Amino acid sequence: MDDDENMIIDVVSPDEPTGGLKQENGGYAWEEEYKRSWDVLQEDENGLISTTVTQLSNQLKRKRLLRDTRTLHRGLVRHLILVVDLSESMAEKDLKPSRHDLVLSTLSTFLVEFFDQNPLSQVAVVVTHDELAHLVTELSSNPADHVRALRNAVRTPKGEPSLQNALEMARGTLAHVPSHGTREVLVVFSSLTTCDPGNILDTLDALVKDSVRASVISLAAEVHICKKIAQSTHGTFTVALNEPHLKELILENVPPPPIAQRSLARKASNLMRMGFPERITERVPTLCACHSKPTTKGFTCPVCSAKMCSVPAECVLCGLTLVLSPHLARSYHHLFPVLNFVEVTDWSEIHADNECAGCMGALSAPPAPGEQSLAVMRTQATGRYACPQCNQHYCIECDVFIHEALHNCPTCSSGTGAGGPAADMET
């Protein structure tokens, strides 16, 4: 009995090492991600917290905008295979309303925004359940077809997933992609297990050999094989913490990623044939070549005069890539992204102009001399964001619009800013 008591005392003794569970500050490792958000709120001189709430809201709006703006080699013609795990684990309700419903709604938003920012790209959808993989849609540029097919693929999640079968089907779909296009795979994985018919490491070697970039978003926890696949193919592996975080992780795949040097060395510079179709409106509906459905509106191929419902697309008869000039313009901005605007934190740096350079709306005016101390002026949020090139100030709404939709600084483009060509001519 005495030996047992001594043994128990030794186990719970604080002098024993904890196996790396505690950090240098004495807290546990899992407490590092724990944040006391209510401690961030601070009252102003009037006893209100509206200023702090507005500042936190602006930080959330700008979180997606602060991305890598370096001039890197990126692929404008992307070929993405979207792999969705529709096994029984997707029926879990830890993500509201359920993993299945949340993933489908988020992917619908992702597909629309993906083609809006990458109009020259193509997407195919692969789902895995019952230890099999099914190709739901072929490579195409129509987001409506992908969303409709994905929602009708599996109404109720069932069975176990097969990561190897899904990756093999994705690799086979990307086998005929031309050299000027990128090969990407995005896996939304929910299960902690995978039922594979063979060695999945052989599939990993084949992905690396074919220069396929695979990224994995896990809904449950970190899975070793998923992380290994992402790291070996120069992709990303992330775990969704909650509903907003999942949406953020999926939308991070909208901008084209930098092309790895390994893949860049194998790509040969060549020309890509494109055609600019003519939009037509007919009185009598005729069958389109893409869906074989009667329509009165469409686009005609300049080579074979085939009628297509929408563009961009590949002509089903001659295989010519059909695009419009706005599609090329929207793809071009990825090569030269707008620099991240810098938040103005010091009231002393604000000039006399209290109007937004974009919408001409009123910005917060600096406090009058003597009303607030210098310390308060340096800590209070200004609500202004300055372009690092022209040094013009914008509001948060214009900052978001410029980086997500316009992709050009209006002042820099017009040459009227402090660093524009017009200013240089005057000096």
Q: Do 87 and 189 belong together in one domain? A: yes
Q: Decide which of 261, 289, 311 is a domain's last residue.
A: 261
The CATH number covering residue 394 comes to 3.30.40.10
pLDDT at 296: 92
Q: State the DSSP H helix or E strand holding residue 152, giving kind and residue range, or none if neither.
A: helix 143-153
Sign of CA dihedral 41, 44, 49, 54: negative
* 346 found inside a domain: yes
* 63 found inside a domain: no
pLDDT at 380: 56
Residue whose C-alpha is closest to residue 383's, from 397, 367, 399, 396: 396
Q: Do 351 and 328 belong together in one domain? A: no
**pLDDT tens digit sequence for 296-341:** 999 999 999 999 988 888 888 898 888 888 887 777 776 777 888 8
Which of 32-46, 101-115, 217-231 bottoms out in mean pLDDT, i.e. has the lowest?
32-46
pLDDT at 423: 39
Q: Do 205 and 285 belong together in one domain? A: no
Q: Do 121 and 189 belong together in one domain? A: yes
At 98, the pLDDT band (50, 70, 90 cuts) reads: very high
Mean pLDDT of 102-123: 91
**pLDDT tens digit sequence for 225-263:** 999 999 999 999 999 999 989 998 999 898 888 776 555
Which of 168-182, 216-230, 263-277 bottoms out in mean pLDDT, i.e. has the lowest?
263-277
pLDDT of residue 123 exceeding 70: yes
Which of 23-32, 131-140, 322-331 bottoms out in mean pLDDT, i.e. has the lowest?
23-32
pLDDT of residue 135 exceeding 60: yes
179 vs 316, residue with greater confidence: 316
Which of 35-39, 104-108, 307-311 bottoms out in mean pLDDT, i.e. has the lowest?
35-39
Structural domains in the chain (count): 3
pLDDT at 264: 52
pLDDT at 291: 83
- The DSSP 8-state label assigned to residue 63 in this structure reads T
Q: For residue 212, what are the domain limits?
A: 78-261
At 1, the pLDDT band (50, 70, 90 cuts) reads: very low
Alpha carbons 127 and 103: distance in angstroms, whole number? 12
Alpha carbons 103 and 218: distance in angstroms, whole number? 11
Q: Do 409 and 292 belong together in one domain? A: no
Q: Decide which of 215, 235, 261 is a domain's last residue.
A: 261
Q: Do 316 and 408 belong together in one domain? A: no
Q: Do 86 and 224 belong together in one domain? A: yes
Percent of the chain scoring above 70 in pLDDT: 72
Q: Do 322 and 379 belong together in one domain? A: no
CB proximity list for 153: less than 8 A, separation 6 or greater: 86, 125, 127, 134, 136
Mean pLDDT of 35-62: 56
pLDDT of residue 52 exceeding 60: no
pLDDT of residue 395 exceeding 90: no
Q: Do 94 and 122 belong together in one domain? A: yes
The set of long-range contacts for 264-269, using a CB threshold of 8 Å and a minimum separation of 24, is 264/73, 266/179, 266/211, 267/179, 267/180, 268/179
Percent of the chain scoring above 90 in pLDDT: 38
Q: Do 290 and 321 belong together in one domain? A: yes
CB 49 within 8 A of CB 57: no
pLDDT at 124: 95
383 vs 307, residue with greater confidence: 307
Alpha carbons 25 and 35: distance in angstroms, whole number? 15
Report phi then psi at 375, rounded to 5: -65, -40
* 279 found inside a domain: yes
* 403 found inside a domain: yes
pLDDT of residue 3 exceeding 50: no
Alpha carbons 388 and 344: distance in angstroms, whole number? 11
Q: Do 135 and 172 belong together in one domain? A: yes
Alpha helical stretches, state H, 252-357: 261-266, 325-332
Residue 213: what residue type? R
pLDDT at 313: 84
At 420, the pLDDT band (50, 70, 90 cuts) reads: very low
